[in-house]
Amino acid sequence: MGRKLFALIFLTFKEGVRDRALVGVGLFSLAMMGGSVMVVNFFMRELHKVSVDINLSAIAFAGLLLTFFVSLNLMSKDMDKHTIYCVLSKPFSRTQYIWGKYLGIMFLIFIAFCILTLCSTATIFFIKSQYEVYFKEFSWLEFYKAIYAQFLMFFILNAFIVFYSTITTSSFITLLFSISTYIAGQTIEEVVLFLQSSQAMEMVMSKTIGSIIGIVQYVLPNLSVFDLKVRSAHALPISFEYLSAITFYCLIYSSVLLISSSLIFNRRELK
Amino acid sequence: MKQTISLSCFLIISMVSCFFVQQNLSEKREELLKASYMAYTLPSKITGVLALEFKGIVSDFLFLKTTTFFGDKFIKQESVGEKQADYAYESIKIVTDLDPWFWDAYLFADMLLTWDFGQIDKANELLLKAKKNRTWDFKPAYYLGFNHFYFLKDNKKGSRFLMEASKIPGAPSYLTSLAARLSMYENQYQPAIVFLNEILKTTQNKGLKNEYEKRLKTLIIMDKLEKNVHAYHAAFNVFPETLQDLVDKGIIESIPDDPYGGQFVLLKNKRVYTTSKMIYKRK
Amino acid sequence: MIDISIKNISKIYVSDFKCKKKTAVQNLSLEIEPGEIFGIIGRNGAGKSTTLKMIMGFITPDSGQIFISGKIPADPDSRCKIGYLPENPYFYDNLTARELLTFSCQASGLDQKTSNQRIELLLKQVGLFAEQNQKLRTYSKGMTQRAGICFALVHDPDIVILDEPMSGLDPMGRKMVIDLILDLKKRGKTVLFCSHILNDVERICDRVAIMDQANLKGIYTKEQILENHGMEELFLKIVQQNELQAK
């Protein structure tokens, strides 16, 4: 059973890791990190902030590209082109298929994160050695905490990719849905905060809109809780309680998505 | 074979013409940009939402855009006015909404708004925001103190801010004595020289650096001239009528030139100032 | 023990938007016994592939039951001993044939030594041994078909289900597939396949089911086919009869 699932995880990983889009993603993020070495020259004092900003953004952006191109491809193309038959003609249950695929994708993203973390560490180390004076307010620990939180975000986002590919029949719709979910997830917090502010309270808001937003707030993932980039750029300490809170949030939310995907997928016809 | 050769010829011709076309385009583009520079800002309610999880890097970008805009103006010595002041204020407000801990941005806005535009209130408003967010940092309170001393002539508030700054861990030990000294040196250029020296040590932008250096140079000259005025008073028991009196009595050889192109004058309250008001004679 | 037993299954496809209904399989019952080669023939859209996909569990029948060695298709264990070749197989682009086959063996729980032996043997049999480390993206239609046959057979299944195994193959390839199927029969395996190519079906099948317009028109043994002057005669007769009835 374990070995079987590992075979599927590894199959997914191998198929993804050889995707040619990966080269583009890699080059892009390396260029961005390399660019940070030059760009910091234009700033006055807070070079640590700028270099951390750029490096963390490069990692986040690479992760997004990976998710929306490579892992989406791994899920949707499987159904579109019927490669799924070659997995499901083996003794895999639909639930095992969902989990195996998801873990394979997450393994791919994990490896990508490891490489990107190494590269950004090297970049920041280099900048730091050049401008030691401006790196007094910098902390490696906070930097890695932000990368960890970023990685957690991709657990949820990829669970959404899996979820949407089980309910739709076209990869384009999956792409559209997951990008909208990402944007909504990143902005929902601000929208809710705005609506709760006094400014909005003055506006007459109907009860229905209020309750709809309340529901949406619970259904949509709050992805901005995983964004610690700005805080880590200023080496503002993040407590371990916060980190464990977002870890649990991410695990529970992804599990809910994957379990519902399995339930839906068990009923799906693969014509 | 023949086709390959002719195609290669066309390629070379089009590549060469592409070069010229691009040059022409960049000239035209520059004219267009000059006519209407994108000194616009989007409210942070919108920018913040659009920036998604990339608020840090967007704040870097917007800040860079603002500093290059003003750095460019200073290098080209173009005139800046009310409109540009509003732009600086609005854009830094957005930058610091995206990243409320971005000290570079606060300091840039402070320098620009106080020295170049005389909008001390707006500068202080941003510094107060910095003080609220950068709780571990003595610098916001330190600069607030300076603004109150130098620009607002409010010594009481100024020393309160400086004392507040000196209590924050990591503040330089001289702050307490500086607070005391500054209140004594009321109405003098000394504090400004001290502050500017601090800022110059850490400024990299070429245009801004030149500007600060020039300002420092002017302040040092005016400080020296004021000391000379006091020496005159000590020697003759009366204050000179004009700066020329100092030359006439042989205290100084000549009235130095104002780096900003104005002329140093002795005001009625016996303080030295310059007709350029430390703002470059704009074209 | 019956290997595959199908009892009164029906399937109606409902197209997405217009709610148009199309009967794919109607009240089909079949029993396939161990060690036999069973062919399903029929025109395009007769319901052959749908039947096979229902056996594999890709599609659930609207009514009726399917048992594979006593297990229902929803049970993954029912596929432990099945090898399946889809119609127009398409595999992961970026994998090599070798990796694909290794996955097939691992998923079926073969140990490494046996799987290596099996992979090499089969690759040589279908003539892909030289190309085993090329990515599947570079394969031609015929090569993909061969890789698909390997994929279905590599874990030495007891029941082999082949959907159009001859499509896209040259005459040599078709002979190779026929040899493989006959070899499976020799080793006591059950083969269920569907095809358009009547000659091939006639040559190798023990029993043939003829389907037309979602219905089973009859199951014929080798002897019955001979009595009816061959497969082609028989098939045309049945199809024409069916059309007359429809009128």
DSSP B17-85: HHHHHHHHHHHHHHHHHHHT-------HHHHHHHTTT-HHHHHHHHHHHHHHHHHHHHHHT----HHHH
Q: What's the pLDDT tens digit per position in C152-182?
A: 999 889 999 999 888 888 888 888 999 999 9
Contact at CB, B56 and A187, closer than 8 angstroms? no
Q: What is the model's pLDDT at position B14?
A: 92
Q: What is the mean pLDDT of residues B75-83?
A: 77
Best of A73, A86, A97 to disrupt the C interface (most C CBs within 10 Å) is: A86
Q: Is A52 on the interface with B (CB under 8 A)?
A: yes
Residue pair B228/B252 in contact (Cβ under 8 Å)? The answer is yes
Q: Which of A20-29, A205-214, B30-39, C118-127 has the lowest mean pLDDT?
A: B30-39
- Which of A5, A8, A9, A11 has the most C C-beta neighbours within 10 Å, making it the best mutation to test the interface with C? A11
A8 close contact with C: CB closer than 8 A: yes
Whether the per-residue pLDDT at A185 is higher than 60: the answer is yes
Q: What angle do CA A81, A83, A86 make, to 5 degrees?
A: 155
CB-CB under 8 Å, B53 with A229: yes
pLDDT at B176 over 70: no
Asked if B61 is an interface residue toward chain A (Cβ–Cβ < 8 A), one would say no
**Tokens matching residue C79:** 């596929």
Contact A6, A99 (CB under 8 A): no
Q: What is the pTM of this model?
A: 0.83
Residue A27 CB coordination number (10 Å): 10
CB atoms within 10 A of CB A28: 14
pLDDT at B70 over 90: no
Residue listed under structure tokens 């079949």: C30
Residues of C in contact with A87 (CB under 8 A): 107
Question: Inter-chain contact C107–A88, Cβ cutoff 8 Å?
Answer: no
Closest CA of chain B from A19, distance in Å: 26
What sign results for the dihedral spanned by CA atoms B87, B92, B97, B98?
positive
CB contact under 8 A, C90 and A269: no
Task: Inspect the interface and report whether the beta carbons of A87 and C109 lie closer than 8 Å.
Answer: no
Interchain CB distance below 8 Å, B54 and A60: yes
> Sorting pLDDT into bands at 50, 70 and 90, what band is B157?
confident
* pLDDT at res. A66: 93
Among the listed residues A181, A188, A185, the one whose alpha carbon sits nearest the alpha carbon of residue A162: A181
Tell me the mean pLDDT in the region A181-210.
75
Contact (Cβ atoms closer than 8 angstroms) between residue A146 and residue A232 = yes
Sheet holding C207-212, edge to edge: C82-85, C159-163, C190-195, C37-42, C207-212, C215-221
What distance in Å separates the CA atoms of residue B117 and residue B114, rounded to the nearest whole number? 6
In this predicted structure, the answer to whether residue A200 has a pLDDT above a threshold of 70 is no
Point out the least confidently predicted range of A99-108, B73-82, C5-14: B73-82
Chains A and C: how many Cβ contacts under 8 Å? 84
In whole angstroms, what is the distance from residue B276 CA to residue B279 CA? 6
Mutate to test the interface with C, among A17, A90, A96, A268 (most CBs of C within 10 A): A90
Average pLDDT, integer, range B210-226: 84
Average pLDDT over every residue of B203-212: 74
State whether A190 and B49 contact (CB < 8 Å): yes
Q: Are A155 and A67 in contact (CB under 8 A)?
A: no
Chains B and A: 3 or more CB pairs within 8 Å of each other: yes
The mean pLDDT value for A127-151 works out to 90
How close, in Å, is residue C5 to chain A by CA atoms? 18
What domain range is A247 assigned to? 2-267
- Cβ–Cβ gap A43/B48 under 8 Å: no
Residues of A in contact with B72 (CB under 8 A): none
User: Of the given ranges (B46-55, B122-131, C16-25), which has the lowest mean pLDDT?
Assistant: C16-25
Contact between chains at A223 and B203 (C-beta distance less than 8 A): no
What pLDDT band is residue B182 in, cutting at 50, 70 and 90?
low
Instruction: Say what percent of chain A tops pLDDT 70.
Output: 96
pLDDT of residue C67: 92
Tell me how many residue pairs between chain A and chain B have CB atoms under 8 A apart.
Answer: 83
> For chain B, what's the residue count?
283
Residue B243 has pLDDT above 60, yes or no: yes
Is the pLDDT at C186 greater than 50? The verdict is yes
Q: Are C45 and C215 in contact (CB under 8 A)?
A: no
Residue A152: per-residue pLDDT: 95
CB C110 within 8 A of CB C93: no
- Closest-CA residue of A relative to B203 is A44
Place of tokens 């990508």: A112
Amino acid identity at A6: F
pLDDT recorded at residue B194: 74
| B282 pLDDT tier (thresholds 50, 70, 90) | very low
Kindly report the nearest CA distance between residue B57 and chain A, in angstroms: 5
User: Is pLDDT of B280 > 60?
Assistant: no
How would residue A201 be classed by pLDDT, with cut points 50, 70 and 90? low
Largest Cα separation within chain C, whole Å, is 60
Q: Confirm or reject contact between A269 and chain C (CB < 8 A).
A: yes
Q: How much of chain B exceeds pLDDT 70, in percent?
A: 87
- A199 has pLDDT over 80: no
Average pLDDT, chain A: 89
The CA-based angle A28-A29-A30, given to 5 degrees, is 95
Domain count, chain A: 1
pLDDT (mean) for B79-92: 84
Q: How far apart are the first and last CA of chain C?
A: 42
Instruction: Give the gap in angstroms from C-alpha A158 to the nearest C-alpha of chain C.
Output: 20
Residue B39: pLDDT band with limits 50, 70, 90:
low
Q: Which residues of B touch A180 (CB under 8 A)?
A: none
Chains A+C touching (3+ CB pairs under 8 Å):
yes
Long-range pairs of B47-51 with CB within 8 A, sequence gap ≥ 24: B47/B94, B47/B97, B47/B98, B48/A190, B48/B97, B48/B98, B49/A187, B49/A190, B49/A191, B51/B98
- Asked if B205's CB is within 8 angstroms of A44's CB, the reply is yes
Residue in C181, C173, C111 with CA at minimum distance from that of residue C143 = C173
Q: Residue holding tokens 């952006």?
A: A61
φ and ψ at residue B130, rounded to 5 degrees: -65, -40
Confidence of residue C234 (pLDDT cuts 50, 70, 90): confident
| Average pLDDT for B99-109 | 92
For C91-137, write each residue's pLDDT tens digit: 888 899 999 999 999 998 888 899 999 999 999 988 888 988 999 99
- The secondary structure of residue C25, as a DSSP letter, is E
ipTM computed for the complex: 0.90
Helix (H, G, I), strand (E, B) or coil at C7: strand
User: Rounded to the nearest 10 degrees, how much is the dihedral formed by the CA atoms of A47, A49, A54, A55?
Assistant: 100
Q: Which residues touch C191 (CB under 8 Å, ≥6 apart)? A: C36, C37, C38, C159, C160, C162, C181, C184, C185
SS3 A201: helix
Of C60, C76, C94, the CB nearest to A91: C76
The three-state secondary structure class of C157 is coil
Q: Please count the other Cβ atoms lying within 10 Å of the Cβ belonging to residue C12.
A: 14
The answer on pLDDT for B178 being more than 90 is no
Chain A CB contacts of C79 below 8 Å: 88-92
Give the chain B residue whose CA is nearest to the CA of A226.
Answer: B53
**Chain B residues whose beta carbon lies within 8 Å of the beta carbon of residue A43:** 60, 63-64, 104, 204
Q: Which of B69-73, B181-185, C51-55, C205-209 has the lowest mean pLDDT?
A: B181-185
Dump pLDDT digits (tens) for A87-118: 999 999 999 999 999 999 999 999 999 999 99
Domain boundaries, chain B: 40-134, 213-274
Q: Is the pLDDT of residue C24 over 60?
A: yes
pLDDT band for position C237 (cuts 50, 70, 90): confident
The mean pLDDT of A69-97, rounded to a whole number, is 89
What residues of B are in contact with residue A227 (Cβ under 8 Å)? 53, 55
| B49–A contact, CB cutoff 8 A | yes
Q: How far is C103 from chain A (nearest CA, A)?
A: 6
- The residue whose two tokens read 């964004």 is A227
Q: Is B52 on the interface with A (CB under 8 A)?
A: yes
Closest chain C residue to A270 measured between Cα atoms? C58
CB C114 within 8 A of CB C154: no
A 10 A CB-CB count for B189 gives 23
- For the CA atoms of chain A, what is the radius of gyration? 21
Other Cβ atoms less than 10 A from the Cβ of C119: the count is: 23
CB-CB neighbors (< 8 A) of A262 in chain C: none
